[in-house]
Chains A and B, each alone.
Chain A
Amino acid sequence: KAGVTQTPRYLIKTRGQQVTLSCSPISGHRSVSWYQQTPGQGLQFLFEYFSETQRNKGNFPGRFSGRQFSNSRSEMNVSTLELGDSALYLCASSFGGSYNEQFFGPGTRLTVL
């Protein structure tokens, strides 16, 4: 089975722009979660989708949004980028959710200038 793929792998944006990151889960997995990793805050949960429904959301501003398509692929969008949004964004897929083993993608490294 192919692993979790994330595109793009690297992104450089300027403040005020918006960005869309994509995640393709492992075939058959219906749950996709997104995490932000920074040196200062560590790994923080953004949101989780299951069968196109958001089941939980972390403590992030409304500028962070996501969605999941019928084929389980997911996208997350960050609008009005701020310098503090620079981070590694990780996507994870699993069969049922957080009570299962999570398979992580390699991440998208976002740099906001």
Chain B
Amino acid sequence: SQQGEEDPQALSIQEGENATMNCSYKTSINNLQWYRQNSGRGLVHLILIRSNEREKHSGRLRVTLDTSKKSSSLLITASRAADTASYFCATDLESSYKLIFGSGTRLLVRP
């Protein structure tokens, strides 16, 4: 089974609206990362948040991490059509040297 599970599986919003995606995981982590993938192509790193951090910002992205609940959220503000993609959370397990990806959220931003 996968370490990270995203919610919702799919999300459709209007351009300009905010999009929130959630990720839950099962075991202790070093860090949690978010990636974006367009149309089955390679993944692009968005943001990395370490286990001792609670919130991080990068441009229109805001990520929170709650290690007590083993969950994270990704907020994209003022969405654009170009944000249409699949978004994955990935957890780095302690001392494992591997990233475990969640199942992803498919985001559609309608113009």
A98–B96 CB distance below 8 A:
yes
Is B99 in contact with chain A by the CB < 8 A criterion?
yes
Task: Confirm or deny: B88 has a beta carbon within 8 angstroms of a beta carbon on chain A.
Answer: yes
**Residue contact A102 to B33, C-beta cutoff 8 Å:** yes
Decide if A99 touches B42 in the complex (CB within 8 Å). no
Mark A79-113 against chain B: 1 for CB-CB distance below 8 A, else 0. Answer: 00000000010101000011111111111000000
Known: A99-B31, A99-B92. A50 touches B97 (CB 8 A): yes
Question: When chains A and B are docked, how far (Å) is the Cα of A48 from the Cα of B33?
Answer: 17
Contacts of B104 in A (CB 8 A): 42-43
Q: Are A56 and B96 in contact (CB under 8 A)?
A: yes
Is there a chain A Cβ closer than 8 Å to B82's Cβ? no
Q: Closest B-chain residue to A41, C-beta based? A: B2
Q: Which of A42-72 contact B (CB under 8 A)?
A: 42-45, 48, 50, 55-56, 58
A92 to B45, CA, bound (A): 11
Name the contact of A101 in the complex, choosing from B30, B40, B45 (C-beta under 8 A): B45
With a cutoff of 8 Å between Cβ atoms, the chain A residues found around residue B60 in the complex are none
Given A43-B88, A99-B31, A55 and B40 contact (CB-CB distance below 8 Å): no
User: Considering residues B30, B48, B90, B99, which has the most beta carbons from chain A within 10 angstroms of its beta carbon?
Assistant: B99
Q: Judge whether A97 and B45 touch: CB under 8 Å.
A: no
CB distance from A93 to the nearest CB of B (A): 12
A97 to B41, CA, bound (A): 22
B100 at the interface (CB under 8 A from A): yes
Given contacts A43-B88, A99-B30, contact A104 B101 (CB under 8 A): no
A-B contact pairs, 6 of them (CB 8 A): A35-B101, A45-B99, A55-B97, A90-B43, A105-B42, A106-B42
Residues of A with Cβ closer than 8 Å to B? 4, 31, 33, 35, 42-45, 48, 50, 55-56, 58, 88, 90, 92, 97-107
